Amino acid sequence: MIITRKISDLKKKISEAKKNNHSIGFVPTMGALHKGHLSLIDCSANENEITVVSIYVNPTQFNNQEDLKKYPRNEDNDLALLKQTKCSIVFLPETTEMYPEKDDRVFDFNGLDKLMEGKYREGHFNGVAQIVSKLFEIVKPHNAYFGKKDFQQLAIINYLNNKYLKELKIQIKACEIIRENNGLAMSSRNARLNDKQRSAAANISKIASGGELSRFMLALKVVLSKVKSVPTIIFDEIDAGIGGAVAHAVGERLKRLGENLQVMVVTHHPQVASKGNYHLRVRKA
Ligand code: AMP
């Protein structure tokens, strides 16, 4: 594993790999690595000859200076963990390297950055876009890997990639959420929880039933589709655990969504199926 701290060194190593026709997978992180990050590296290593991992706690995405100060950092441990993976090159820049000048760029996400988490962390997603765009321009990977754990961030990155960085032709790959045994999604910030907070946080994944979770996903997709132009949304088993009036309401919601984009739904409910314009009967062989 090659350790680089300077952009020029990283670029040199990457252009050598590209000369050998190697495909480059990229995993950007803020360090304090855990199994969630390692799963992204595994995904990349399965699909590319070279995997580049960056570790950089990006100050421009923190709207709270106390949060930035307290963000967990452990370079020695991170490097020891990375050595056990198929990471080919790790990039550990200083802030002087990433921001030799103040970055004043303001990205337009058509409101996507102002909803949900963005409402409570002003400027956060703009900061994410600043650092990810810089890293993408430097690494110019074929594929870049992000966790579904940060659902809104993933939507922002896709938007950024399609709107501002199209010429780089980077494929964004979404990876599954890795959880602790108690159901809590792994996160570097979990290190800041005490035992009581940790077991309370684990309840988040238990509160919602399957049906509630699928309706929660419906609500999220409806919100995101308003600000993000996607051609097709697919809902698989959106109606698990519902019936009667609720199934009817879900069907109505999907029908309205289908007025602006193509919606494909896998369903068992006539209340939902009857709202569709076209029907395909699917049978298990
Ligand atoms: P971070 O270091 O928190 O900025 O995360 C770097 C990348 O790892 C992001 O794409 C995250 O979505 C992803 N990630 C973090 N935790 C997990 C997890 N538990 N499962 C899957 N991906 C994760």
User: At how many degrees (to 10) do helices 244-257 and 210-227 cross?
Assistant: 20
Q: CA torsion sign, 20 to 25 to 28 to 33?
A: negative
User: In this structure, what token pair is assigned to residue 191?
Assistant: 């290190």
- Ligand 1, pocket residues at CB < 6 Å: 29-30, 36-37, 39-40, 146-147, 149-150, 175, 177-178, 185-188
Distance from Cα 110 to the centre of ligand 1, integer Å: 24
Distance from Cα 235 to the centre of ligand 1, integer Å: 24
> How far, in Å, CA of 225 to CA of 233, rounded?
9
Which atom of ligand 1 sits closest to the CA of residue 176? 21
Closest of 14, 8, 42 to residue 140, by C-alpha = 14
pTM of the complete model: 0.84
Which residues 6+ apart lie within 8 Å of 199 measured at CB?
182
User: In this structure, what token pair is assigned to residue 244?
Assistant: 């009667």
> How far, in Å, CA of 215 to CA of 257, rounded?
14
Which atom of ligand 1 sits closest to the CA of residue 33? 2
> What angle (nearest 5°) sits at the alpha carbon of residue 165, between those of residues 163 and 170?
115
Q: What is the pLDDT along the chain (285 residues), one digit of tens a residue?
A: 999 999 999 999 999 999 999 999 999 999 999 999 999 999 999 999 999 999 999 999 999 999 999 999 999 999 999 999 999 999 999 999 999 999 999 999 999 999 889 999 999 999 999 999 999 999 999 999 999 999 899 999 999 999 999 999 999 999 999 999 988 999 999 988 999 999 888 887 777 666 677 777 777 777 777 666 677 888 877 777 777 888 888 889 889 888 888 999 988 888 999 999 999 988 877
